[in-house]
Structure 1
Amino acid sequence: MSASRTTSTEPVTYERRGPLAVVTMNRPKYRNAQNSAMTYALDQAFYRAADDNEVKVVVLAGKGEHFSAGHDIGTPERDAHLPFERKSGLWWDHSDKEGAESRFARESEVYLGMCRRWRELPKPLIAQVQGACVAGGLMLAWVCDLIVASEDAFFADPVVRMGIPGVEYFAHPWVMPPRIAKEFLYTGDRMTAQRAYEIGMVNRVVSRDELSQKTVELASRIAEMPRMGLALTKRAVNQAEDLQGLHAGMDSVFGLHHLAHAHNAETAKDSLGGMDVKAMKKGAGA
């Protein structure tokens, strides 16, 4: 059973279950909204799983009713202004900069940079999704190789309400057909787990009561495969996606994303377009 476990007071917990590592976001009070402390804790957990020779497969979960309601834009523990030790790239510290220089540096690190590196974790990564998987939550699910969702799970990217063309890790046209991606973004509506399964974004839909069990069963089955075979297969499929334009497409949209931030900073109350948690919940929130 569990070979190691972190404490329940940390923003992310880590548990070994034989050949599986279960990484769990642990801010259920805030629907697992991702502040920087959580993001860097996730990074540490994935490094830990990569370095552990006994771990064959990693499961990413969220404690409580929801997988993740997205980036933290309004909890008492929001820490976007604080410096953290940078690991994803060579951009300078954002915390003592202003304007686009600050925003671009931070989001290159904690959003696009982190997600890109997690996608390349050389071990299968499975998302176990229940409840809300919104905006930044999508980014975490989409870097995973497989997604198992509960029947009550829903997916949404409502940031067009901010005047922003989708979240920073812009995988939309690769994880769903382009016309579905446009509808998903234009409306900001929730997509049910069943609909996500029908378009190929989700691998399996199960009852909430069976979610953990079914995810572990799938992960355990995959863990029977040779480690090197799994790593090379993952690299092969990821390379195929990149040849289809995923990597370059994200770079181009990241620039549009920051154009939107800059426009909002000039025309609205702030770079988020003046949207608060209550406004973001409208129609799509948890």
Structure 2
Amino acid sequence: MTKYSTIEYERTDATAHVRLDRPDAMNALNAEILGEFEDAIARAEADDDVRVVVVAGHGPAFSSGYDISGAGEKGSVDDRILNQRSHLEAVFSARKPVIAAVDGAALAGGCNLAIACDLTFATERSEFGYPDMHFGEPPPKFVLPFVANSLKHARELLYSGKSVDAEEARRMGLVNHVVPDGELGAAVDEEIARIRKTPSAGVAVVKDMLNDVQETQGYRRYGRVDEFMGTLTMESETATEFRERRDEDGLQAAIEWMHETDKP
């Protein structure tokens, strides 16, 4: 059986639970956790007894986004981020429904992962957004415009880099249901029970058809375009200075500069 060091995988009845397990780093997404995540999704896909996959996070956050600290890893952090999109593709192409169970912050790459899932449940204390826009780096894959109720909502979040609470995220279309803190597991289990009343083949066919709608709208194509644009914006003056401050003064100092300074 596969052993993981940055996630937990557990199957209970017909549900595969995939839990991000870097709580000390707010489940930041580095190369290791993303590789293990993709393996876990493939493992659930191959298990005929699994009907639904639930993605959650241990600790105070769902995920704070891509790990830009780079501690102990080889190569440029930014290069690694640009090459780490396949976890979203794994969720999209899985023939089984993938539900995000968000309890806490789902930010930047963590927000992308949460809203890329077929369904998204969140506790009242959760928050969503793209604070990485403050240092001039758009999401490395555009998911938000294909999920938000309108492009105006997508523009609002991406232009400002602000975060919104779970109820506002639900109003914008990023979240299906908001539940009181402590009731997330029960709400997700109730939804899974409803899904299991539909034949698995029917669910798989409908997911394929809905994915086709997104592809017709340009989901995969704009993902590739955004990778190109992301590479360009990472070379902007603001993004370059952010990385220099991060490398010289530490991540926290760079983040404080990011929030306090008007950008060109």
Residue aligned with 2:121, SS = strand
The structural deviation recorded for 1:187 is 1.4
Secondary structure of the equivalent of 1:208?
coil
1:69-97 superposed Cα distances (whole Å, 9 cap, x missing partner): 11112274x53x2xxxxxxxxxxxxx5xx
Q: 1:255 aligns with which of 207, 222, 228?
A: 228
* Cα distance between partner residues in 1 of 2:34 and 2:19: 12
What is the number of equivalent residue pairs in this alignment? 255
Partners of 1:158 and 1:280 within 8 A in 2: no
Q: TM-score with structure 2 length normalisation?
A: 0.87
**Contact 2:145 2:154 (C-alpha < 8 Å) held by counterparts:** yes
Q: Superposition RMSD on alpha carbons, in Å?
A: 2.7
Aligned with residue 193 of structure 1, among 159, 166, 177? 166
- Asked whether 1:152 is paired with 2:105, we answer no
TM-score normalized with structure 1 length: 0.81
Q: 1:207 Cα shift?
A: 1.0
Amino acid at match of 1:140: L
Q: 2:156 aligns to what?
A: 183
Aligned equivalents of 1:264, 1:67: Cα separation in 2 = 31
Percent identity of the aligned residues?
Answer: 31
Residue 114 (structure 2) pairs with residue 137 (structure 1): no
- Identify the match of residue 70 of structure 1 among 56, 65, 73: 65
Is residue 128–residue 148 contact of structure 1 (8 Å, CA) maintained in 2?
Answer: yes
Q: Could you tell me which of 189, 205, 208 is aligned with 1:232?
A: 205
The Cα offsets for residues 37-58 of structure 1, whole Å up to 9 and x where unpaired, read as 1111101110110000000000
Whole-Å separation in 2 of the counterparts to 1:131 and 1:278:
23
Q: Letter of the aligned partner of 2:100 in structure 1?
A: A
Secondary structure in 2 matching 1:218: helix
CA distance change for structure 1 residues 269 and 185 in 2, over 3 Å: closer, same or farther?
closer
Query: For the residues of structure 2 that align with 1:13 and 1:271, how far apart are their CA atoms?
Result: 35
Decide whether the 8 Å contact of 1:262 with 1:271 is kept in 2.
Answer: no
1:115 alignment counterpart: 88
Counterpart of 1:28, as a letter, is P
5 Å-filtered alignment, 1:1-286, equals: 10-74=5-69, 76=71, 79=73, 81=74, 95=75, 103=79, 106-107=80-81, 109-110=83-84, 112-164=85-137, 166-176=138-148, 177-264=150-237, 268=241, 270=243, 276-277=251-252, 279-280=254-255
CA shift at 1:270, angstroms?
3.8
Give 1:91's aligned residue.
none
Query: Per the alignment, do residues 272 and 256 of structure 1 end up closer, same or farther by CA in structure 2, a change over 3 Å counting?
Result: farther
Using the alignment, how far apart are the partners of 1:11 and 1:191 within structure 2?
Answer: 27
Alpha-carbon shift at residue 159 of structure 1 (Å) = 1.6
Higher relative contact order (CA 8 A, sep 6+): 1
Alignment partner of 1:183: what SS? helix
Unaligned runs of 5+ in 2: 260-264
Q: What is the alpha-carbon distance in structure 2 between the residues aligned to residue 263 and residue 29 of structure 1?
A: 31
Does structure 1 conserve the Cα–Cα contact (< 8 Å) formed by 2:102 and 2:126? yes
Alpha-carbon distance in 2 for matches of 1:229, 1:269: 48
Q: 1:51 to 1:278 in 2, by over 3 A?
A: farther
Structure 1 unaligned segments of length 5 or more: list them: 82-94
Residue matched to 1:88: none
Structure 1 distance, partners of 2:56, 2:174, is 17
